[in-house]
Structure 1
Amino acid sequence: MHSFPQHLLDGYANFMSGRYTRERDRYRELASAGQKPTTLMIACCDSRAAPEMIFDSGPGELFVLRNVANLVPPYQPDGGQHGTSAAIEFAVKALNIANIVVMGHGRCGGIHAALNPDKTPLDDGDFIGKWLSMLGDLPDQVVANSLMTATERQTAMERISIRNSIGNLRSFPYVAALEAEGKIALHGAWFDISAGELWIMDQNGDFVRPSI
């Protein structure tokens, strides 16, 4: 007997009879030759915004890093446990990634928590609060804008956070060096869950709808 969720087993059965059957050779090639993705996707762990689905990616095409609110911390080689930084290091230094995309999304729970900090954290460890603290005073600056509605502040903070994470990516010396050499490109994206709209960040930091 086991208590493994049945809906996951059903999904696996569908995967094996569907996608795996269609792409069996690709999976076998990846198993023997290793992965060679060209894009690191830094996205939120929100179950509604899966990069592989949004970008219709096949196996081995995206190296996906997901965390609360798709945040990138600044470069801090201080001996601590840095899961996000470790994934960035591996993607850039070992996989020779050509593109890094920081993708946020609408109605992000992490960003909502940053704008509306709970005086009573979910747990004594308050890992979420500590994680979101890397945004510094940016949430306070957005909240202080009384001309925007709560929904407008939410969207603004989601996009400001993306720009902030891209700035933090440039604090990684090897990322900054590769970008200066034209060997790596940094991108921002924002996905609207409700409308299915993708917005991408242009050279000025503005978010625009791409022509597809």
Structure 2
Amino acid sequence: MTHLPERLLAGYRSFMASRYSAESQRYRALARDGQKPETMVVACCDSRAAPETIFDAGPGELFVVRNVANLVPPYAPDGRHHGTSAALEFAVQSLKVKSIVIMGHGRCGGIGAALNPTAEPLSPGDFIGKWMGLVAPAAAALAGNSMTAAERQTALERISVRYQVENLRSFPCVKILEDKGRLSLHGAWFDIERGELWVMDPKTGDFERPLLD
């Protein structure tokens, strides 16, 4: 009798026979010495846009926090539960990462919800609706223009990345280290259909595709 879906067990067997077998020494070193990733990635929960897969990262290379639509709430030390803020604090203060990447992606369901605030909530609590209220001002600004629905979706996915980078700077520990040149902040957007990665220019906010050799 199994207590996990068979697909997960099959994947675990494959992991043990291939990746773990090839990198067992690395896993043992990580277990013994702890993790020391240099990069934190704030990404979406979407199963199609996993940072470890997109960046071909090995164990211990990335510190990843995922939430709906890759959002970073503004700094708010109010005593409430703040999962993303806690992860950010740990990455910056304890792990001392050198860079933070906000990575959005195409066809994001959370962004779609923000663009359609009149849709029926999925539950009485409307957790997604309340969470996506963080980008409501940007969504409202896009509502009255002549873009198509698809263009509006992509625009907000990218604009939101810029907003989240600014929200990072509302955390004193982030702003202080960035000003000292010890922490860099980045934005990126991944096109699921084409596998294209677009990187945000830190000065202009424009998204460009990096040149690949």
| TM-score relative to the length of structure 1 | 0.98
SS at match of 1:70: coil
Corresponding pairs, count = 211
- The offset of 1:23, in angstroms, is 0.2
Cα distance per residue 1:177-200 (max 9 Å; x no partner) = 100000000000000000000000
Q: Which runs of 5+ in 2 are unaligned?
A: none
SS at match of 1:187: strand
Does the CA contact (< 8 Å) of 2:36 and 2:60 recur in 1?
Answer: yes
Whole-angstrom CA distance in 2 between matches of 1:116 and 1:53: 30
Q: How does 1:99-138 map to 2 (within 5 A)?
A: 99-138=99-138
Residue aligning to 1:196:
195
Residue aligning to 1:43:
43
Residue aligning to 1:162:
161
The residue type paired with residue 59 of structure 2 is P
- The offset of 1:119, in angstroms, is 3.8
SS at match of 1:124: coil
Residue aligning to 1:86:
86
User: Percent same amino acid among aligned pairs?
Assistant: 64
Residue aligning to 2:178:
179
- The offset of 1:143, in angstroms, is 1.5
Cα distance per residue 1:108-134 (max 9 Å; x no partner) = 000000001244210011111111111
Structure 1 window deviating more from structure 2 (202-211 vs 55-64): it is 202-211
The residue type paired with residue 36 of structure 2 is K
Q: Which runs of 5+ in 1 are unaligned?
A: none
Residue aligning to 2:150:
151
Q: Is the counterpart of residue 28 in structure 1 residue 28 in structure 2?
A: yes
Structure 1 window deviating more from structure 2 (115-124 vs 152-161): it is 115-124
Cα distance per residue 1:17-36 (max 9 Å; x no partner) = 00000000000000000000
Q: How does 1:46-61 map to 2 (within 5 A)?
A: 46-61=46-61
SS at match of 1:75: coil
The residue type paired with residue 178 of structure 2 is E
- The offset of 1:211, in angstroms, is 1.3
| TM-score relative to the length of structure 2 | 0.97
SS at match of 1:56: coil
Does the CA contact (< 8 Å) of 2:73 and 2:134 recur in 1?
Answer: yes
SS at match of 2:69: helix
SS at match of 2:112: helix
The residue type paired with residue 173 of structure 1 is P
- The offset of 1:3, in angstroms, is 3.9
Whole-angstrom CA distance in 2 between matches of 1:59 and 1:2: 27
- Runs of 4+ aligned residues of structure 1 deviating over 6 Å after TM superposition are none
Residue aligning to 2:64:
64
Does the CA contact (< 8 Å) of 2:113 and 2:119 recur in 1?
Answer: no
SS at match of 1:31: helix
Whole-angstrom CA distance in 1 between matches of 2:28 and 2:148: 51
